[in-house]
Amino acid sequence: MRVGLLTGGGDVPGLNAVIRAVVKRGEGEHGHSIVGFRHGWRGLADGDVMPLTRSHIRNVLPTGGTLLGTARYHPHADDGGLDAVRATLEEERIEALICIGGDGTLHAASKVAESGVKIVAVPKTIDNDVWGTDRSIGFDTAVSIATEAVDRIHTTAESHNRVMIVEVMGRHAGWIAATAGIAGGAELVLAPEEPFDIDRVVRFLQHRHRAHASFSIIVVAEGAVPMEGSSMTYETRLGPFGEIVAGAISERLGAEIAARTGFDTRVTILGHVQRGGTPTPADRILGSRMGVAAIDAVSAGESGVMTALRGDDVVLVPLSEIAGKVKQVPAEMLEVARALA
Amino acid sequence: MRVGLLTGGGDVPGLNAVIRAVVKRGEGEHGHSIVGFRHGWRGLADGDVMPLTRSHIRNVLPTGGTLLGTARYHPHADDGGLDAVRATLEEERIEALICIGGDGTLHAASKVAESGVKIVAVPKTIDNDVWGTDRSIGFDTAVSIATEAVDRIHTTAESHNRVMIVEVMGRHAGWIAATAGIAGGAELVLAPEEPFDIDRVVRFLQHRHRAHASFSIIVVAEGAVPMEGSSMTYETRLGPFGEIVAGAISERLGAEIAARTGFDTRVTILGHVQRGGTPTPADRILGSRMGVAAIDAVSAGESGVMTALRGDDVVLVPLSEIAGKVKQVPAEMLEVARALA
Amino acid sequence: MRVGLLTGGGDVPGLNAVIRAVVKRGEGEHGHSIVGFRHGWRGLADGDVMPLTRSHIRNVLPTGGTLLGTARYHPHADDGGLDAVRATLEEERIEALICIGGDGTLHAASKVAESGVKIVAVPKTIDNDVWGTDRSIGFDTAVSIATEAVDRIHTTAESHNRVMIVEVMGRHAGWIAATAGIAGGAELVLAPEEPFDIDRVVRFLQHRHRAHASFSIIVVAEGAVPMEGSSMTYETRLGPFGEIVAGAISERLGAEIAARTGFDTRVTILGHVQRGGTPTPADRILGSRMGVAAIDAVSAGESGVMTALRGDDVVLVPLSEIAGKVKQVPAEMLEVARALA
Amino acid sequence: MRVGLLTGGGDVPGLNAVIRAVVKRGEGEHGHSIVGFRHGWRGLADGDVMPLTRSHIRNVLPTGGTLLGTARYHPHADDGGLDAVRATLEEERIEALICIGGDGTLHAASKVAESGVKIVAVPKTIDNDVWGTDRSIGFDTAVSIATEAVDRIHTTAESHNRVMIVEVMGRHAGWIAATAGIAGGAELVLAPEEPFDIDRVVRFLQHRHRAHASFSIIVVAEGAVPMEGSSMTYETRLGPFGEIVAGAISERLGAEIAARTGFDTRVTILGHVQRGGTPTPADRILGSRMGVAAIDAVSAGESGVMTALRGDDVVLVPLSEIAGKVKQVPAEMLEVARALA
């Protein structure tokens, strides 16, 4: 059986663990040939292929990025894109496709699946907002990087009198903000799930600094927004790929707090650092398990499904159940962040 | 309300996150007084108390160990132990007790609960073998330490021709062995769940080294044992607290492999290093969430329950459901370890 | 003997190692009383003291920040500042003063020493630009943080086609930029030592991307500047304490490169993250050795000197030899950065 | 010019940085051809060559081990070894040889140099005991690993009443023991430089535990020995390559302390973990600088020299000055370890 493999969307640590698992299990157990497409869906549309054998995956387990490359291209959003994809799949005699990606890739996967191609998806996004799975690949590493930054700022903050704002990723959900906020002991977590009231934020800081504190750390997700009708105006700025511009909310928030409190307010924007480097063991394990589950699913004739972590188990869920949903941070976790401030 | 708090058994990273959460949430939200008992159940039997307020928990979130101390003492295994515990609880007017621990502590907790004391337990063990919860506190950090060791040995192993054996913790279940084996890309994982056949191990190594490899890494759980009736004899050696003696299985296994293959075979025993140091973000978050859940449960009048992670949620499970059960590594995960060798 | 101790300027990892060493050695070997001044020279002027005994320094070795606090205040730059300092020293019967700090503190130290007070200085600055010592405390940790960031960006950069600019600290010297650039394998290092020619930078990038590369990483020190008379205008922006505003050069440079090449250019500003967190072993060792050397020097009647690392040895150098000098990166090291691009 | 390159002795982190620097600088600046010999001197004797070009060194900077492989073989200790080396050099038309290694390799280098071959050596050893250079490649990473282990054991030790012994590498000099002991805050450092008096060790522990402590950490170098004539007998055990058997001294010492004090005494043997994994920035920088210095020296016609770090500078020192000398830990540093216990 010839199985295609691609990684779509922004890259995250743990992708190479999936690729390695698909190749090792696919070759070793099932005797499949694995064909990689370079630069995500773009390579599938353009016919940019590379064979994937054991020699390609030596030593990749602890590495970040993706050996296949990736691109922010979606065939269903491009005129003739789906036709080009089908043509490549036919030409390369691909019987099934495993695609690793986030929102956009999962959406593309269901579109392509509708046209009869066998597809199994593997969820990755440092935002962790894919519905139907406890964890997406890349999230654990991003939390670890963001927490380390909060830890570091914590020690410098203690020596001064200031407000430190740390902006982390999370457009539709505040998973990194909430977890790094809890793990790093931040005073305030601002997440897209709960638009914030700038007046309450300012009162909280003033009260806290009057009472005893000489510093406060605020972790804010890039997708956080002020409450409607509140006294802070803000409009989300989007970049060329529809992504939120790094620093937009945190710099606006910093200016607002500085103006209203007079506190020395500093902003740190983690940005791309969150996407890179050696994956944590948890991301390598999740990637390995999902890679094996994906090729096993393909071999069992499954299609239109996504691998998912549920508790201790890796299971398959229909792509149709996931479409259009965003997994937000549970209220309990946001409450923990608040309780431990 | 006066709430008692203790940490029992061996210490693990993440305990201070629980203590901090219980104190912050207990004082802040519920207005409770938190009373700590030093050195686990021993302090509860002896009346060795310390008040726990916000000033005691400053900066403890990223620290390992337990600020309360711990000890390997179980009141139900000691003559008059349960009476002493009840006496202290009465004298200190403790209305409910939160105890953080593993197997032994959970067992002690159900015994004490039977005598009418309100008890909520929080599971911690780097072995991750507590039934009823996806994760126990300390496991994620231990996996991260063990994986780092396997990563390091991987690079030295590549330059030589040898067999490297890494022994990790895990008496009744091979969670650390399986996960660090997968994450570190080990060639073989030996876990208590599946007694190993030394003849197959030797054949595997010989075949592998004949074919192409110049090294092999074996991750073995301290509780791994050879199959009954196999050609390797081995008797588990126990220490003063009934714990498995570090190095027993790995040194025996190393000698056996060296004798049968003639390969240069080296043993690394991680030991106590796995129990220490800064907790990973995942362990700090789990500890924080479980600490909040425990004090909330106590405040709601719950008793005889344990906090548990189930998927994305923290829930309560009856202690009676857990008793006597060991959560073993799922067969799927052991299969992944095998598939990716 | 009563010995005063303060930490001046911005905080860096490793300060607590010095404090611990001064206290342990001072009490244990010499029988001195150590008196800490809070918030640097400000506390010395204001008489804000705290006794420092063994109980204050428990567990501080691996912690960042400074348990004494710090402030950006210099007595010689403040009307009546030196008088206030002398008054406090007299009132507290301080016979000698150990001050840990960078440029500003070393300058203040020589001013105070001139007025007859016995002073021994210990150099700290993540910029590593103190003359007379191979290393200043905090530098090694900052390099390790900056390198980790370059490593992470390296893996994300590889999957895309872009120019990544990483701004690190270094106002008068590019020590962090050069070392993190070499250690992280950056394509270009821009340091204050050698004003850059934007035309050459652009040509280099264009040539490189035309030839083969899909990404380039530039590490730029905050104090880097374009060559005079070059085609890029830039004026250093200063903050309230005379410090360079974070992001000023890198954002300007990024805009320039994007405009001239059309490449997708992203900027990461490490900022305060470089100043915080657990000190590396090298910084703990340097701090410990210099702390012991400082209190031994004080006990031997030395004054007007600074502890310094020279090769394998810790020695004393006269403050007068250091004044007004900046230790820049050796040309050989900048050449290595260039050669390995 | 054709330049040979080999890595001899045990591998350490940072070797690939040297290889990369030699190739990049050699090709780029000097136009040399670099020829690698596999498995150290063994490959040079056997003619096991691989060309080394830019494509071989992609992404190797942050990796441990050596891409050339290594072996514990010395031509001058093997009958006909030097002749075989000369034959290969002639056959491959090698005009100069760069060899990266420790004691054994430096000795081999001077022997080969005597026979007229141009040789430049680069010092690597995690033991840091090469004379004439402030640092050898690999040492900083080993210290970082050992310190992390002491840090971890520190937190577990605090919760119990025990003596923890950590054995680190260091046969002739206690560099890792002294530095990791200082950085980790150990109570006792035992190094080869000063044979220890077991009676004093036991008295120190007894006094300390009687006074206040519930734990003590001892860092012992593998090459530490009891004082002659003392009440503890011990004979160094050597392995097949003349190396000290891991665990020999620490297990003996642990048994002795346990027997004399009755304290619960545990041993951790770091072993090969110290040799592996990602090199620290300091080791990557040192490796890069020495690699550039070595190929520049070769190009300038130098021979019979070793690259060395002296303060901030990389210089060349004659191999003849180094022969037979061991760089031991300065007394000042051992005193710091003692003072801060």
CB C79 within 8 A of CB C293: no
For C64, the closest chain B residue by CA position comes to B59
Mean pLDDT over C193-206 rounds to: 95
Catalytic residue among A11, A48, A79, A127: A127
D274 appears as a binding residue in the annotation: yes
User: Is D340 inside any structural domain?
Assistant: no
User: Is D80 inside any structural domain?
Assistant: yes
User: Is D336 inside any structural domain?
Assistant: no
Residues β-bridged to residue B96:
B3, B118
Given an 8 Å threshold on Cβ–Cβ distance, is C273 in contact with A155?
A: no
Active-site annotation holds for C11: no
Q: How confident is chain D (341 residues) per 10-residue block, as mean pLDDT?
A: 94 96 96 96 95 93 92 87 93 96 91 89 97 97 96 75 92 97 97 96 92 86 93 84 86 94 91 92 98 98 97 95 92 95 85
Given an 8 Å threshold on Cβ–Cβ distance, is D159 in contact with B70?
A: yes
Chains that touch B (3 or more CB pairs under 8 A): A, C, D
| Cα dist from A131 to A136, A308, B315, whole Å | 9, 9, 20
CB D180 within 8 A of CB D222: no
User: Is A293 inside any structural domain?
Assistant: yes
- Residue D148 with chain B: CB contacts under 8 Å: 277
- B224 CB contacts (<8 Å, ≥6 apart)? B174, B177, B190, B191, B192, B195, B196, B249
Instruction: Give SS3 for A269.
Output: strand
Helix C103-114 / helix C81-91 crossing angle, nearest 10 deg: 70
Given an 8 Å threshold on Cβ–Cβ distance, is B70 in contact with D160?
A: yes
- Residue A63 with chain D: CB contacts under 8 Å: 59
The pTM assigned to this predicted structure is 0.95
Instruction: Give SS3 for C37.
Output: strand
- B170 CB contacts (<8 Å, ≥6 apart)? B127, B129, B176, B177, B191, B192, B221, B222, B223
Q: Which tokens in the block code for residue C168?
A: 């690190």
Q: Are residues C95 and C160 in the same domain?
A: no
Domain boundary residue among B276, B306, B334? B276
CB C9 within 8 A of CB C40: yes
Instruction: Name the residue facing B151 among A20, A62, A144 (closest C-beta).
Output: A62
- pLDDT single digits (tens) B56-107: 999 999 999 999 998 888 898 889 999 999 999 999 999 999 999 998 899 9
- Substitution target in C145, C158, C284, C325 with the highest count of D β-carbons within 10 Å is C284
Instruction: Give SS3 for C221.
Output: strand
pLDDT at A162 (0 to 100) = 87
Closest approach of chain C CAs to the CA of D134, in angstroms? 6
Among D51, D47, D43, smallest CA distance to D6 is for: D43
Given an 8 Å threshold on Cβ–Cβ distance, is A271 in contact with C266?
A: yes
User: Is A330 inside any structural domain?
Assistant: no
For D182, the closest chain C residue by CA position comes to C285
Catalytic residue among C127, C140, C283, C296: C127
pLDDT at D314 (0 to 100) = 97
The phi and psi torsions of B58 (rounded to 5 degrees) equal -65, 130
Residue environment code for C244-258, b if the CB has 16+ CB neighbours within 10 A, otherwise e: bebbbbbbbbbebbb
Range of weakest confidence among A17-26, A75-84, D14-23, D296-305 = A75-84
C54 appears as a binding residue in the annotation: no
B125 appears as a binding residue in the annotation: yes
- pLDDT single digits (tens) C28-69: 999 999 999 999 999 999 999 999 999 999 999 999 999 999
A234 appears as a binding residue in the annotation: no
User: What does the radius of gyration of chain B's CA atoms come to, in whole angstroms?
Assistant: 22
Q: Which amino acid would we find at residue B192?
A: P
Residues in C whose CB is inside 8 Å of some CB of A read 10-11, 13, 63-66, 69-71, 145, 148-149, 151-160, 164, 266, 268-269, 271-273, 275-277
The CATH number that applies at residue C109 is 3.40.50.450
Q: Are residues B202 and B293 in the same domain?
A: no
Q: Which tokens in the block code for residue A7?
A: 């990684």
Closest approach of chain C CAs to the CA of B55, in angstroms? 15
**pLDDT over 80 at B295, yes or no:** yes
Averaged pLDDT score across all residues of chain A: 93
Cα(A80)–Cα(D266) distance, rounded to whole angstroms? 68
User: What does the radius of gyration of chain D's CA atoms come to, in whole angstroms?
Assistant: 22
Among C328, C13, C9, C10, smallest CA distance to C177 is for: C328
Q: Are residues A83 and A134 in the same domain?
A: yes
Q: Are residues C155 and C196 in the same domain?
A: yes
Q: Are residues B129 and B147 in the same domain?
A: no
Mean pLDDT over A67-87 rounds to: 90
Q: Are residues C157 and C77 in the same domain?
A: no
Catalytic residue among B11, B127, B140, B296: B127
Domain boundary residue among A257, A276, A295? A276
Instruction: Give SS3 for B283.
Output: helix
Given an 8 Å threshold on Cβ–Cβ distance, is A288 in contact with B147?
A: no
Among A312, A29, A307, smallest CA distance to B331 is for: A312
Q: Are residues C92 and C65 in the same domain?
A: yes
Q: Which tokens in the block code for residue A121?
A: 């998806």
Among D147, D280, D126, D140, smallest CA distance to D217 is for: D147
C-beta neighbour count of D93 within 10 angstroms: 11
- pLDDT single digits (tens) D18-49: 999 999 999 999 999 999 999 999 999 999 99
Q: Which amino acid would we find at residue C54?
A: R
Reported as half-sphere exposure (CB side, CA atoms, 13 A), residue C41 has a value of: 28
Q: Which amino acid would we find at residue D162?
A: R
C328 appears as a binding residue in the annotation: no
Q: Which tokens in the block code for residue B28?
A: 């802040």
CB A270 within 8 A of CB A142: no
User: What does the radius of gyration of chain A's CA atoms come to, in whole angstroms?
Assistant: 22
User: Is C244 inside any structural domain?
Assistant: yes
pLDDT at B158 (0 to 100) = 57
pLDDT at C76 (0 to 100) = 86
- D123 CB contacts (<8 Å, ≥6 apart)? D101, D102, D106, D130, D132, D133, D136, D137, D290, D306, D307, D308
- Residue B60 with chain C: CB contacts under 8 Å: none
**pLDDT over 80 at B125, yes or no:** yes
Cα(D15)–Cα(A236) distance, rounded to whole angstroms? 48
- Residue D63 with chain A: CB contacts under 8 Å: 59
Q: Are residues C127 and C237 in the same domain?
A: no
Q: Are residues A289 and A261 in the same domain?
A: no
Q: Are residues B272 and B302 in the same domain?
A: no
Domain count within chain D: 2
A282: confidence class by pLDDT, cuts 50, 70, 90: very high
Reported as half-sphere exposure (CB side, CA atoms, 13 A), residue D337 has a value of: 28
User: Is B327 inside any structural domain?
Assistant: no
Cα(D35)–Cα(D297) distance, rounded to whole angstroms? 17
Closest approach of chain A CAs to the CA of C240, in angstroms? 10
Q: What is the DSSP string of A94-112?
A: --EEEEEESHHHHHHHHHH
Cα(C116)–Cα(C89) distance, rounded to whole angstroms? 11
Q: What is the DSSP string of C4-27?
A: EEEE-SS--TTHHHHHHHHHHHII
Q: How distant is the alpha carbon of residue C233 from its chain centre?
A: 28
| Cα dist from B8 to B40, B97, C322, D58, whole Å | 4, 13, 56, 50
CB A230 within 8 A of CB A199: yes
Instruction: Give SS3 for C90.
Output: helix
pLDDT at A115 (0 to 100) = 79
- pLDDT single digits (tens) B227-280: 998 889 898 888 777 788 888 999 999 999 999 999 989 999 998 899 989 999
A273 appears as a binding residue in the annotation: yes
Q: Are residues D121 and D38 in the same domain?
A: yes
**3-class secondary structure per residue, C108-139:** HHHHHHHCCCEEEEEEECCCCCECCCCCCECH
Catalytic residue among D11, D127, D140, D296: D127
The CATH number that applies at residue A257 is 3.40.50.460
pLDDT at A238 (0 to 100) = 85
- Residue B153 with chain D: CB contacts under 8 Å: 272-273, 276
| Cα dist from C316 to A177, C6, C310, D179, D243, whole Å | 47, 19, 10, 21, 39
Instruction: Name the residue facing A340 among B24, B134, B179 (closest C-beta).
Output: B24
User: Is B92 inside any structural domain?
Assistant: yes
Closest approach of chain B CAs to the CA of D230, in angstroms? 30
The phi and psi torsions of D265 (rounded to 5 degrees) equal -115, 125
Domain range for residue A112?
2-138+279-322
CB A16 within 8 A of CB A47: no
The phi and psi torsions of C328 (rounded to 5 degrees) equal -95, 165
Given an 8 Å threshold on Cβ–Cβ distance, is B282 in contact with A282?
A: yes
Q: Which tokens in the block code for residue A98?
A: 């495993």
Closest approach of chain D CAs to the CA of C188, in angstroms? 15
Q: Are residues D288 and D204 in the same domain?
A: no
D228 appears as a binding residue in the annotation: no
Instruction: Name the residue facing B155 among D65, D71, D153 (closest C-beta).
Output: D65
SS3 content of chain D, % helix, strand, coil (to 5): 45, 20, 35
Q: Of how many residues is chain D composed?
A: 341
CB B73 within 8 A of CB B46: no
Q: State the Cα torsion C225-C228-C234-C236 to the nearest 10°.
A: 50
Mean pLDDT over A107-122 rounds to: 90
Given an 8 Å threshold on Cβ–Cβ distance, is A268 in contact with C268?
A: no
- pLDDT single digits (tens) D289-339: 999 999 999 999 999 999 999 999 999 999 999 988 999 999 999 999 999
- Substitution target in B73, B156, B158, B263 with the highest count of D β-carbons within 10 Å is B156
Mean pLDDT over A8-15 rounds to: 92
Domain boundary residue among C222, C251, C276? C276
Closest approach of chain D CAs to the CA of C253, in angstroms? 26
A104 appears as a binding residue in the annotation: yes
Q: Which amino acid would we find at residue A15?
A: L
Cα(D273)–Cα(D152) distance, rounded to whole angstroms? 15
